[in-house]
């Protein structure tokens, strides 16, 4: 999939510069653009909703999946004929670790409150669910999900 395909499915798209756009997020009722779309040199598409929507929710709202954010599989001549491997986007390990650490902290704090018998608000439950989603997305990104 190309970035143009994604952008054609979004509303309120405006270019910010080379390979960068803002649009209204389709995963929530968005009156002003809160969805950042970026195109990396290697063809990977980056999405971030500043309102906190999970990338998978944003993509589902426009009929796409996480796999659509990555370049088409490339033929790998070192594997038997007909097999392919996907070129992965490089992620900064320290940034990824910081995101996972924050998500784990949110989960730990929510679990601690639950264990102490404190009521968990809907907002806290959603934050914990979002954190779990980020951890699972990080595992998907390095292809090591259990």
Considering the segment(s) 3-85 as one domain, its CATH architecture is Alpha-Beta Complex (3.90)
Q: What is the average pLDDT across 82-105?
A: 68
Question: Which pLDDT score, from 0 to 100, does residue 145 have?
Answer: 40
pTM of the model: 0.51
Q: Residue ranges per domain, the chain?
A: 3-85, 93-141
Q: How far apart are CA 12 and CA 81, in angstroms?
A: 44
Question: 67-84: per-residue pLDDT in tens?
Answer: 888 876 544 444 444 444
pLDDT over 80 (residue 50):
yes
Q: How far apart are CA 124 and CA 111, in angstroms?
A: 11
Q: Which tokens is 36 given?
A: 């950042």
Question: Which pLDDT score, from 0 to 100, does residue 84 have?
Answer: 44
Question: Which pLDDT score, from 0 to 100, does residue 90 have?
Answer: 58
**Over the range 102-113, which residues count as b (16 or more CB within 10 Å of their CB) and which as e?**
ebeebbeebeee
Nearest to 140 by CA among 62, 56, 60: 56
């Amino acid at each position: 999939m190309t970035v143009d395909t994604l952008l054609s499915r979004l509303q309120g798209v405006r270019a910010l510069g080379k390979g960068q756009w803002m649009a209204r997020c389709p995963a929530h009722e968005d009156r002003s653009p809160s969805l950042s779309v970026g195109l990396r040199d290697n063809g990977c598409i980056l999405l971030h909703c500043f309102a906190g929507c999970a990338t998978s929710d944003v993509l589902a709202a426009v009929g796409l999946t996480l796999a659509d954010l990555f370049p088409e599989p490339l033929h790998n001549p070192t594997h038997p004929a007909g097999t392919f491997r996907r070129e992965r986007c490089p992620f900064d390990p320290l940034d990824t670790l910081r995101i996972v650490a924050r998500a784990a902290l949110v989960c730990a704090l929510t679990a601690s409150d639950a264990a102490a018998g404190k009521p968990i608000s809907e907002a806290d439950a959603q934050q914990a669910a979002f954190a779990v989603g980020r951890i699972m997305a990080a595992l998907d990104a390095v292809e090591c999900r259990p």
